[in-house]
C-alpha cells in the first residue's frame, strides 16, 4: 500500500492510497464525513469511500476510540461494505475480518 494523501481525521479531510498487489495497482480515496466525541467519551471519525477498488461499491468505516473500564482505550473498527453481489459480500467477510484482526497486536504494541 502506498499513501498518496492524508489530510487528517476531521470532517472534510481526504485520504488517498494506492493498493498494490504484484503488477496490479488500484486507487482508493476516502472522505472523512464525520468526527467528534460521544457523550460516553468515545472519540470517533468516519471515512467513506469515494473511489474504491473493484469489486467494492460502498465503504463506511467508523473508527472508535472508547474508554475502557480498566482506564485504557478500546479501539473499535466498525466497517460496512458492499460489492456487486450479496454473495460476494459474504465471501469477502473473512478477508475483511482478517484485514482488521492483524492490526490488534500492532495497536497493543504502539499504544501501550
Asked, for residue 25, whether it belongs to a domain, the answer is: no
Find the CATH number of the domain harbouring 84: 3.10.450
Q: Residue 101's domain spans which residues?
A: 32-111
Asked, for residue 85, whether it belongs to a domain, the answer is: yes
Structural domains counted in the chain: 1
Hey, what long-range contacts does 21-28 have (CB within 8 A, 24 or more apart)?
A: 26/53, 26/54, 27/51, 27/53, 28/52, 28/53
0.85 exceeded by the pTM? yes
pLDDT of residue 112 exceeding 80, the answer is no
pLDDT tens for 81-91 read 999 999 999 99
Asked, for residue 101, whether it belongs to a domain, the answer is: yes
pLDDT tens for 56-81 read 999 999 999 999 998 889 999 999 99
Asked, for residue 5, whether it belongs to a domain, the answer is: no
pLDDT tens for 29-52 read 999 999 999 999 999 999 999 999
pLDDT of residue 103 exceeding 90, the answer is no
Amino acid at each position: 500500500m502506498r499513501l498518496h494523501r492524508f489530510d487528517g481525521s476531521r470532517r472534510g479531510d481526504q485520504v488517498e492510497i494506492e493498493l498494490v498487489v504484484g503488477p496490479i495497482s488500484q486507487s482508493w480515496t476516502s472522505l472523512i464525513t464525520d468526527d467528534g466525541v460521544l457523550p460516553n467519551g468515545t472519540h470517533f471519525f468516519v471515512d467513506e469511500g469515494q473511489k474504491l477498488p473493484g469489486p467494492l461499491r460502498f465503504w463506511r468505516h467508523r473508527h472508535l476510540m472508547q474508554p475502557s473500564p480498566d482506564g485504557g482505550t478500546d479501539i473499535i473498527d466498525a466497517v460496512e461494505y458492499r460489492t456487486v453481489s450479496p454473495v460476494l459480500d459474504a465471501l469477502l467477510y473473512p478477508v475483511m475480518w482478517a484485514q482488521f484482526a492483524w492490526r490488534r497486536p500492532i495497536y497493543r504494541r504502539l499504544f501501550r
